[in-house]
Amino acid sequence: MKLIKAGEKRYALLLAARDSDYVKKEYGGYFNVFVAAFGEEGERWDLFRVVDGEFPDMNELHKYDGFVVSGSPYDAYGNDHWILKLCFLLQTLDAMEKKVLGICFGHQVLCRSLGGRVGKACTGWDIGLRKVKIVKDLSASSFLEDLDEIPPSLSIIECHQDEVWEVPMGAEVIAFSDKTGVEMFAIGQHILGIQGHPEYSKDILYNLIDRLLNNNSIERDFAENAKVGLEIAEPDRKCWETICRNFLRRRQNFTFSPI
């Protein structure tokens, strides 16, 4: 058993996907991808493979400073036992006002758990780079204040065919795109959902596109167009990482002054 150092921050990744062969070979697994993107030196990060039924002890939740829920090939509106158990865990964390960051599937299942609505996107798959627009005149908190300049939009890697239809009561939409109405939402200071993948690098998405093509989830022309889009532009990864790190570590209120 590892002893926790006094003052050491502790986070948990709730992994809702199994490691692909590519990510395992290149990065040692998705856990390492998330910690590299959102972690900081001197912290402890624990891995729970919720997709395989591995969950944190409910009596240990108070020991964590925050939780990250990953993407998944499963539907956030599904009724698999582990998804229902995850929903209950997220409701518990919300009641405790623990920091929870949801990514893609995590964004959607957070929304579902807290009373929102999710389902298939009426416009189909969104794969590639997407420019999301930051909502102006936010009344609630945002997590953008450490950026040198708050841009009106940010590019992010996307890979999803489901989306948030309606946010939970008390939630605020922080960003949207031409494709998806809820790209980012927050509840108070402790819940943040992001539809895109701030943790992804281009090579991970290239491999994912190939896998989706090989299992006939997408058409070849669609796959090629997605790859072309990746070749001509870059995601704003550093900005997204800053937003996510700010959210997981800050305790004070935030204000947002759009440019």
C-alpha 238/C-alpha 259 separation (Å) is 19
Total residue count of the chain as it appears in this document: 259
C-alpha 146/C-alpha 168 separation (Å) is 27
Instruction: Tell me the pairing of strands 66-69 and 10-14.
Output: parallel
Query: 125 near 216, Cβ under 8 Å?
Result: no
Alpha-carbon dihedral 90, 96, 97, 101, rounded to 10 degrees: -30
Q: Is 28 helix (H, G, I), strand (E, B) or coil?
A: coil
CA distances from 43 to 146, 240, 250 (A): 20, 20, 15
CA distances from 114 to 74, 132, 169, 233 (A): 19, 24, 8, 35
Residues serving a catalytic function are: 104, 197, 199
